[in-house]
Structure 1
Amino acid sequence: MASKEAFLKNIASHLGRERRSGVKPPTYISQPWDHFYKDMNRDELIEMFIANATKIGAKVIDAENEKDLNIILGPWISENDQVIIWNDERFEELKVYQALNQLKANWKKWQDGQENHLIFTEKSKVGIVFADFGVAETGSLALFHGKGKGRSVSLLPLISIGFVKKDTIVPRITQVLKAIHQQVPSGDLTSCFNFITGPSRSADIEMDLSIGVHGPGELVVLLI
């Protein structure tokens, strides 16, 4: 907090005024975006998410009742394939690390600030992450980054595999932004958040749609 105050006071001094405080956000009379899809139940939101994610090129697999994750991951990960994965306790609970060992993959957990891990990630075939939310309206994965959860893991490998819990699928980006806003009072904010909507697409090269130019060319979503 001290560094934040010093930063803001420094800006204020360069603007030739005192540090301002007590600014209140506006109160809107109507917030229609909160009411979109309000009558949809959990199963309907999941169906919407699957439909929209599939439309934009993601492969969605229902793995909720699948105990042998090595069977689920097998089509994308073979023996000695290079795999980078978040260092996340949720993967411990699901025994994903164990599944990678069973597949005999050459894998590593992401470690912050390690140059050799960045090089390993750049050369990896697969990157595995755990989404904090799924957005039904767009079929997107919302990733909250922090310690052990590097951004490069979902960006640099050829294939991106994202786990998402069914009970974290929300109607719109609105609900994700609210969750982030609720982190503000405690100061326990995510260092960065990303919305991943399908595999990497680019159409700025002679108006030709290219897949996988600026990121993974394949996105696999595992619903649990």
Structure 2
Amino acid sequence: MNDKTFLAELDAQSRVKQEEFFDHIASRLQRPRQKTAPIRTLKGAPEDWDRYELSLEARITQFVKHWELAGGHAHRLAAMKDAVLLIQDMVRHTGAKHLIMQDQPELEPIQTALLRTKEELQREEQQDINLTIWNAHGLDDAAKGWLVAAAAQADIGITAAHAAVSYTGSVVLPSSEISGRTVSLLPTMLIVIIPVLRLKTRLGEVLRPMDEWPLAERPAGIHFVSGPSRSADIENDLTIGVHGPGIVHALLIEEA
């Protein structure tokens, strides 16, 4: 028996088992097998859903509710300076020693403040902080590997969201040279800065504009984060922080 014949027999056996499997499901449901696709008169989201829009206040309230139900922590802040103070307090309270953050323009006030905090704590001999800024522009593979290693040992990662979705309680994090995906995936704790004007009602409001992105400018990855990482793959035992940060804070900034 040659390889082609052998593979054809395996395929035939697999199709028989597949038919038996679906027949068994249909019998247990006590209804006939549906072997043709039903005719669908609608495609995509219904028109009334496309028109569904919440006020800014309602979007904030709904996002916080859904984010916290998924196990995340939400903080509503008036201005970026309040976010700076909160993050400084988190660093001191947790005793974090390794921090990594994206090199995004909106995060510059936090970067400046953390460098100042680092100097203050070193003078006080209370805490030795190592702050890494992620920017992979022009780096070779070895330097990029160093950045990934820094993210892997980081206690806290800080990034700004491209957008957030109130209906699902999700933040949207595209990767780029100045916003590496490992900053949001590898640290123990993740802090996401969300200007409230980036908070949308529906997921479609975020996805549809992405269709217009030029192919050459599309990111290698777009991550939708809804609270801390969780998995129940092993014996249905829910475990937090398996595939990403176990603690996630969303900081909603109200100033434009």
Equivalenced residues, count: 194
The question of 1:198 aligning with 2:230 is answered no
Question: In 2, are the aligned partners of 1:33 and 1:174 still within 8 Å (CA)?
Answer: no
SS of the residue corresponding to residue 205 of structure 1 reads coil
After TM superposition, give the deviation of residue 30 of structure 1 in Å: 6.8
Query: Partner of 1:222 in structure 2?
Result: 251
1:145-168 deviation line (CA, Å, top 9, x unaligned): 111110100000000110111011
1:180 is matched with 210
Alignment of 1:40-189 (within 5 A): 40-65=54-79, 67-78=81-92, 81-92=97-108, 95-104=109-118, 105-112=129-136, 113=141, 114-184=144-214, 187-189=216-218
Task: Find out whether 1:35 has 2:53 as its counterpart.
Answer: no
Whole-Å separation in 1 of the counterparts to 2:196 and 2:202: 14
Q: Indicate the larger mover: 188-197 or 129-138.
A: 188-197
| TM-score when normalising by structure 1 | 0.79
SS state of the match for residue 232, structure 2? strand
**Counterpart secondary structure, 2:217:** coil
Query: Which segment drifts farther, 212-221 or 65-74?
Result: 65-74
Which sits farther off after the overlay, 124-133 or 97-106? Answer: 97-106
| Residues in 2 aligned to 1:66 and 1:168: alpha-carbon distance in whole angstroms | 15
Q: Which is richer in helix?
A: 2
CA contact (8 A) 1:69 1:99 kept: no
Letter in 2 for 1:164: I
The question of whether the paired residues in 2 share the 8 Å contact of 1:70 and 1:102 is answered with no
SS at match of 1:47: helix
Q: List alignment gaps of at least 5 residues for structure 2.
A: 1-41, 119-128
Residue 233 of structure 2 aligns to a residue in which SS? strand
Percent identity at matched positions? 28
Q: Which runs of 5+ in 1 are unaligned?
A: 1-27
**TM-score (ref. length: structure 2):** 0.70
1:43-67 per-position Cα deviation (integer Å, ceiling 9, x unaligned)? 1111111110011011111123352
Structure whose CA Rg is larger? 2
Shift of 1:132: 0.8
Report deviation, 1:119: 1.1
List structure 1 runs of 4+ shifted beyond 4 angstroms. none
Q: Quick check: 1:36–1:171 contact (8 Å CA) kept in 2? A: no
Paired with 2:229 and 2:43, the residues of 1 have a C-alpha distance of: 38
**1:94-132 deviation digits (Å, cap 9, x = unpaired):** x01012113213111113242211111111101111111
